[in-house]
Amino acid sequence: MELSFSKKNLLKAELNSQPTNKIYLSSPHMSEEGYELNYVKEAFHTNWLSPLGPNVDEFEKAVALKIGTKSATALSSGTASIHMALKAAGVEKGDIVFCPSLTFSATANPIIYQNAIPVFIDSDMETWNMCPLALEEAFRKYPNVKAVLVVHLYGLSANLDRIMEICDKYKVSLIEDAAESLGTLYKGKHTGTFGDFGIFSFNGNKIITTSGGGMLVSNNEERITKVKFWSTQSKDPARFYQHSELGFNYRMSNVVAGIGRGQLKVLDQRVQQKKYIFGYYTRELAGLDGIEFMPINEWNEPNYWLSCITLNGKVKPLDLIEALEKENIEARHVWKPMHLQPFYKNYDYVGNNVSERLFKKGICLPSDTKMTDKDLGRVVDTIKRLWRK
């Protein structure tokens, strides 16, 4: 049924009242110099459009050089990279893997792919990441653990010294999920390079993107070579297609690797932009009652992937998210812990519900590197109006 004239005008007025440009949480940001397009054009001009190729090789070398690791392999996603890291660490059916509860499901799901058993570990307030005390408690409860999977949430590094000390004590492999922390330094060294394996994500919302993709890095070159074999369908070196092991179709395309090569050139610039955004928020919002910012420790140089806060006053996270939505501004809750997810509810959890409290009180503010000061002002003004109500 056609709308009446008055209803049409009302709808038009409502649409016109909305801000025209949406402010995103974190969206892709191609370089102003056009680095990415040049590499993609090269892939088209040379007809390297399939998985593997010069862009893949050079992207792997560039990432390894940038972060200071011996070897890297470009894969189809960060999730695939975690899966291959677990397999490379020898995780098999029935093995126990310790995993932070406060993370995205992509961290935990590959444990299930390997038919292993996740045990979820609580966070601490000092880092928002895996709590060393809870990790120690979990080892006392489960001494026969195959691997520890640690996350550097929102670009904040975990307490790596303490966690590595515990893993060394129990002689357990450490895998770093650095999907959100490319460019983050822990005591001057890149996250993702401390454990036996490190993984990065180049999903569209990450600090640099290939539209979709990931990278597995390690100083164990033999294991990376094996992962490259597994991730290209485990094709034996024969004249015909022969497969002696289970394979996976996980290798990165030469086209998207070209985007990654270009994006890597502006990584440091993106980190500085993210840092500026966080500084803007801390300066403008620090005086509002009940707001606390994510912890920045003296030993941690984050990439500030997302600027996150917790609310401890009258304004609740959903109030703020909905107020921003009305202004066409995207914000989100902090990750819902894995031990609270319906799929994982029957798996064990060790801790004191710090992760649950962070979820209930936490918000990720818009942290898009394309934001102008005008955009940031719009976000801050919306938040301040909510406090004045």
* 269-306 tens-digit pLDDT: 999 999 999 999 999 999 899 999 999 999 999 999 99
Interval 104-124 mean pLDDT: 98
Is the pLDDT at 1 greater than 90? The verdict is: no
Q: Exposed, middle or buried by CB within 10 Å (0-12, 13-18, 19+), for 357?
A: middle
287 and 230, same structural domain? no
244 and 213, same structural domain? yes
Is 25 contained in some domain?
Answer: no
Is 18 contained in some domain?
Answer: no
Residue 55 banded pLDDT, cuts 50, 70, 90: very high
Is the pLDDT at 220 greater than 80? The verdict is: yes
| Contact (Cβ atoms closer than 8 angstroms) between residue 117 and residue 96 | yes
Is the pLDDT at 83 greater than 50? The verdict is: yes
Single residue among 218, 247, 263 that ends a domain in this structure: 263
Q: Which of 226, 218, 223, 215 is nearest to 174 (CA)?
A: 218
Q: Which residues pair with 38 in a beta bridge?
A: none
Interval 44-56 mean pLDDT: 91
Is 27 contained in some domain?
Answer: no
Q: Which residues pair with 15 in a beta bridge?
A: none
96 and 188, same structural domain? yes
Q: What are phi and psi of 356, to 5 degrees?
A: -65, -40
Residue 51 banded pLDDT, cuts 50, 70, 90: confident
Annotated catalytic residue within 87, 146, 206, 274: 206
333 and 257, same structural domain? no
Residue 389 banded pLDDT, cuts 50, 70, 90: confident
Average pLDDT over the chain reads 94
Q: Alpha carbon of 374 to those of 42, 223, 274: distances in Å?
A: 37, 48, 16
Is the pLDDT at 2 greater than 70? The verdict is: no
pTM above 0.75, yes or no: yes
Domain housing 53: 35-263
CB atoms within 10 A of CB 255: 21
* pLDDT computed for residue 9 by the predictor: 45
Is 13 contained in some domain?
Answer: no
Is the pLDDT at 7 greater than 70? The verdict is: no
Distance CA 286, CA 283 (A): 6
* pLDDT computed for residue 18 by the predictor: 56
pLDDT tens, position by position, 332-368: 999 999 999 999 999 999 999 999 999 999 999 999 9
* pLDDT computed for residue 15 by the predictor: 44
Report the share of the chain in percent with pLDDT over 90. Answer: 93
Is 341 contained in some domain?
Answer: yes
The CATH number linked to 300 is 3.90.1150.10
Strands (E), 95-196: 96-100, 117-121, 147-151, 173-177, 185-186, 189-190
Is 287 contained in some domain?
Answer: yes
Is 323 contained in some domain?
Answer: yes
* pLDDT computed for residue 11 by the predictor: 41
301 and 240, same structural domain? no
How would DSSP label each residue in 43-103?
HHHTT--SBSSHHHHHHHHHHHHHHT-SEEEEES-HHHHHHHHHHHTT--TT-EEEEESSS
Residue 6 banded pLDDT, cuts 50, 70, 90: very low
* pLDDT computed for residue 257 by the predictor: 98
* pLDDT computed for residue 5 by the predictor: 37
Is 22 contained in some domain?
Answer: no
Catalytic, 265? Answer no
Provide the 8-state DSSP code for 309.
E
N-terminal to C-terminal alpha carbon distance within the chain: 39
169 and 75, same structural domain? yes
289 and 244, same structural domain? no
322 and 227, same structural domain? no
Helical packing angle, 35-45 and 254-264, nearest 10°: 150
Single residue among 241, 263, 285 that ends a domain in this structure: 263
299 and 202, same structural domain? no
Tokens of 135: 């990790």
Single residue among 263, 278, 309 that ends a domain in this structure: 263
* pLDDT computed for residue 57 by the predictor: 97
The CATH number linked to 98 is 3.40.640.10
How many structural domains compose the chain? 2
